[in-house]
Structures are given as C-alpha cells and as structure tokens.
Amino acid sequence: GQPQLEPFPNLRAYTNLEVKTLGLGMVTVEAFGSQSELPIIVIDKEDTPLFGLKWALEFKFPFPPGAEVCTVKEEQQESKKEEKQEKSTIPVEIKELIHKYPNLFDCSTGTILGHKIEIRMKPDAIPKFCKPR
C-alpha cells in the first residue's frame, strides 16, 4: 500500500534547485538481513530514489575509506521549531555533534589559519566541469 503522508517542506538539491515534496511518511524497510521503520520523503517527480544518511546509519552501512559526514543543514522557522524537531529525520548522534560544535556547522565560510596553501596549475590548464554525484 501507500504510506500516509504528512506535510513536509520542499527540499533543496545539491545544485540549489527546489524539489517539490508530496510529504513525509513512515515505511517498513527490509534490507541487508534486518528490518526497520524509517521515514521516507516523497517528491513530485519520477527520479532515482536515494538511500539517505539516516537509512545508511540504521542499516550500519560501511562507508568508503576516508568518507565522513562533513556538514548537515537543517532549516527551521522559529515559530515551527518545536514541531520540526519532533518530525526531524536527523539522527540523534548527528544532532549532538551539531550542538557540541555549532561553529563547524554554521553556513559561513571558514578560514584556515597557520597554514600556507599553494595551488599550482599549468598555464594552459582548461577548467573541467563535473556534475554532482
């Protein structure tokens, strides 16, 4: 059947395009020899489904060597802060890190201090564009 959907804010793609959502629902997922009740965000477009961070953490996915969570962004309006916190799909471990190190997760650009950085390029180098993965 179809999961019952609750209203959910639209998403932002990696390219900053808005992705219209139809809502948030809970589904029972059987994968990798275990079963979990997990949130699913349904979008208004036929596209490749993503196995998100919460799902990967729930099923104890092994991350590739060197992979780590570098940034987590959760937009909130002050009037709906408590309501959104109840519906949040961000794992508790990630929330604890965000609250413990807020300066690492703000939206400002950081500065590297105490290190000299030099990037050398060939004079005739041609920039390459790689689409997001």
pLDDT on residue 98: 86
CA dihedral 51, 54, 59, 63 (to 10 degrees): 80
pLDDT at res. 76: 47
Whether the predicted pLDDT of 112 surpasses 80: no
Rg, Å, the chain Cα set: 19
The answer to whether residue 114 scores a pLDDT higher than 70 is yes
Question: pLDDT tens-digit profile of 80-104?
Answer: 444 444 456 778 888 888 889 887 7
3-state secondary structure of 100: helix
Residue 45 pLDDT > 50, yes or no? yes
Give the percent of the chain with pLDDT over 70: 81
Domain ranges of the chain: 11-104
Average pLDDT (18-24) is 91
Summary mean pLDDT of the chain: 79
Q: Give strand pairing partners of 28.
A: 37
Give the distance, in angstroms, between the CA of residue 35 and the centroid of all CA atoms in the same chain: 22
Six token digits for residue 8: 């959910």
pLDDT of 51: 76
| 48-74 pLDDT, tens digit each | 777 788 888 888 888 778 777 676 665
pTM: 0.47
